[in-house]
Structure 1
């Protein structure tokens, strides 16, 4: 006789993936008395802690410090040329990330009762059951009336001849390099490519960014794209745009050779390292979603409604696993949407919510609301005011004069959107986001008393332009 499989272990909820939506949801459900299983294939904490926001921003802080030393003479400070100790830079990053990982593990395994953490690969066997192939060996079947998919994304790999055979770095691999690249080639002019590009240039690498588009950050307004390119070129980053990479190879010295077609000619680009940063794809292909009957789009993202429910009752998708912008703060808001709908019986929607984001180059690019491109596309009437950063007193005093601030307002003098390409751009953008949430008008912002001399004080002068134009 065949041995009978043991019955699945029953839980009130199963969370697949321990990212910025899954972890707080596990805690909230456990605090409400629910028995919760968290399944993690790789590292607790998800992409933000392990290979996204936290490690990249830690490295960017080191790059910014190197730049401050390199430009100290402009401030009357005599220094020698900075010499980045790359292994020490990586060690600092690792220490910060390990502290965060330890905090997540303690929260899930020590500080909360009612949470069971299983390390392994989850796969649906039906709409209510999940089989876990444990990393330590063996399998375990679980069942629950509520299942949450929070599995995130991975780097997309373009179908370029020779790329896979030649090898390449992703945003994960590059974080653990032991030596500084001599010449880093970056495929992709999005925010990941730009942050790594400026970072490694300031560490001392030669950097070339290659993209098929005409502009960097293709979704942004042209003035933003141009300003970003000018800033990074001033740092020494090289760009090859409107270039289609057709082939990748490596020579006997392990040097990468990229063959690219441009409007003018065919080019061969050579470098010591290659980072692929052309986009993301969802980690859903190995979940067995077909066994549960969960629908996805053509790219594999899980389709959800405004309450983040899939087409199968009791199954939800959170964070980057479903279509839409991929940001940590939106993943966390997904948690709040699900928490309020399930635990607090509040009808809360994931649609039509604010979308703030920041590109952490220096200067930072902070964005909230509509761009001019979006307003024109949606046929929304607007007025616009733009102010160069160099006229701001705080910028003149600190020497950080690159960039501009731009706001769009409607006929009622209320903000439609803001672009802040400026030192502390993310913080200034967040102030404007609060003004938008509060419905403040241009006149109210123009007449607000800000402390002098702060970056925020620039808003007085910026909104004066709109008041005069109106």
Structure 2
């Protein structure tokens, strides 16, 4: 048995960074990875998909060239080159991570499947490792929903989508949330016919209804078919294609697609780690239960990233690492409960979100101030010819505390950060209304939106 100060299981966003901090502090660390260094973000998530989004945006903008006085001629998409560019982005990122780990003094990198033998002992193949502290960073994977016929037809998930070698003729996406909508728009712009099938009454149900409706309008303008209220989704073979049965209030009862993408959620990779052997508690969905410091019910075992159910984004995983490192190495008492929810939906234009939605804020019972402004009244958006979407901000009427913001529009994913920073500073919205911003930008209208807030109905 080899003994280390710490064992980290999983080389996603949190694991390597924590290894870097621990080894820099003079501790010996074993980092175990059974698949690809970099995790979902580098290999099948953020980096490759956003590379594809960039290609799709370029094709879309080129087709609109005449609107800007630019003659482009016929625009076509070389899908093989799109995928090759995507691969270079992800392979370069993975190699950079692997090189970083290879040069990390005090780190032993082990490839294999880790399983607990006790709260302090991990087995990888025939080898046993022990450590006083063990950190889980095992991520998650796509859920295969239990729809009738799903096991009898070929289907794609976010991983296999990265390996397509030809453009789908008709891509049917089951799931109208963040991953599904990003793929829907990019493949429509590549030239596929696209249909989105959502079981619920509207897209991205966690968002306010006005945001959801605006996103649907943006996608439908580009020719994406949206089928909501699909209460009974089922699959059957239809020659070389797949028939997707839907029970909706309107539209045909069946959709024939050449490719099916299942984008119906994710589950944590915790079912084959031997957590029960170590006594580590999980919830009914398999997420590791952690406290505010990200420690499990077993002292010395921590969980970071997608597997702990406290966030499903690269930035939440990285923040998990920061919280663990602050508490263990910097004597800085940081808590998960202190962070503010923030994320983006990377359609075009993007949706940037911070804090509560209006629906969530209304549920607190506070007196609210709400301000909105369409992107048609944002100079920067008009200059760029990208005026779809709107801004919305919410504040506490009594204290002036900023409760949340939704910016659906060009630059929304960047502009919302300025609001987020003021929220973290604990300053009232008047901090923003009194600020001078650069013209012409999207951000310069944020003080105006806050200044024009009115009491919520």
Q: What band does the TM-score fall into relative to the shorter chain? A: over 0.9
Name the structure 2 match of 1:60: 53
User: Given the superposition, is the C-alpha separation of residues 374 and 380 from structure 1 closer, same or farther in structure 2, using an over 3 Å criterion?
Assistant: same
Q: Does residue 167 of structure 2 align to residue 180 of structure 1? A: yes
Structure 1 residue 380 displacement after superposition: 2.3
Aligned to 1:136: none
User: In the alignment, which residue of structure 2 is the partner of 1:391?
Assistant: 377
- The SS at the match of 2:253 is strand
- The match for 2:246 among 260, 275, 278 is 260
Residue aligned with 1:334, SS: helix
Asked if 1:116 corresponds to 2:108, the answer is: yes
Match of 1:3 in 2: none
Once the two structures are TM-superposed, the CA of residue 21 in structure 1 deviates from its matched residue by 0.8
Tell me the SS of whatever aligns to 1:12: strand
- Match of 2:30, SS state, is strand
Taking structure 1 as reference, are residues 27 and 179 closer, same or farther at Cα in structure 2, changes over 3 Å only?
same
1:297 deviates by 0.6
In structure 2, distance between residues paired with 1:122 and 1:386? 50
In the alignment, structure 2 segments of 5+ residues that lack a partner are none
* Consecutive unaligned residues in structure 1, runs of 5 or more: 1-7, 134-138
Q: Which residue of the other structure, out of 51, 61, 65, is the alignment partner of 2:44? A: 51
- What residue number does 2:187 align with? 200
**Alignment partners' CA distance in 1, 2:197 and 2:99:** 42
What residue in structure 2 maps to residue 279 of structure 1? 265
Are the counterparts in 2 of residues 442 and 466 from structure 1 also a CA contact under 8 Å? no
Aligned residues between the structures: 455
Question: For residue 407 of structure 2, what is the aligned residue in structure 1?
Answer: 420
Output one character per residue of 1:193-252: Cα deviation in whole Å (capped at 9) or x when no partner. Answer: 010000000000000000111111101100000000000001111111000344212223
For the 8 Å contact 2:368–2:455, the answer to whether it is kept is no
Instruction: Give the secondary-structure state (helix, strand or coil) at the position aligned to 1:143.
Output: strand
More deviation, 146-155/411-420: 411-420
Instruction: Give 1:94's aligned residue.
Output: 87
Give the 3-state SS of the residue equivalent to 1:202 in structure 2. helix
Please state how far the C-alpha of 1:116 moved relative to its aligned partner: 0.9
How far did 1:467 drift? 8.0
**How big is the shift at 1:265?**
7.8
Q: TM-score scaled to structure 1, two decimals?
A: 0.94
DSSP-derived class of the 1:66 partner: helix
> Take 1:358 and 1:193, find their aligned partners in 2: how far apart are those partners?
14
Given the two structures, how large is their TM-score scaled by the length of structure 2?
0.97
Instruction: For residue 371 of structure 1, report the CA deviation from its aligned partner.
Output: 1.1
Q: Matches of residues 60-459 of structure 1 in structure 2 within 5 Å?
A: 60-110=53-103, 112-133=104-125, 139-252=126-239, 254-263=240-249, 267-410=253-396, 411-459=398-446
CA distance in 2, matches of 1:442, 1:24: 34
Distance change >3 Å, CA 442–CA 9, structure 1 → 2: closer
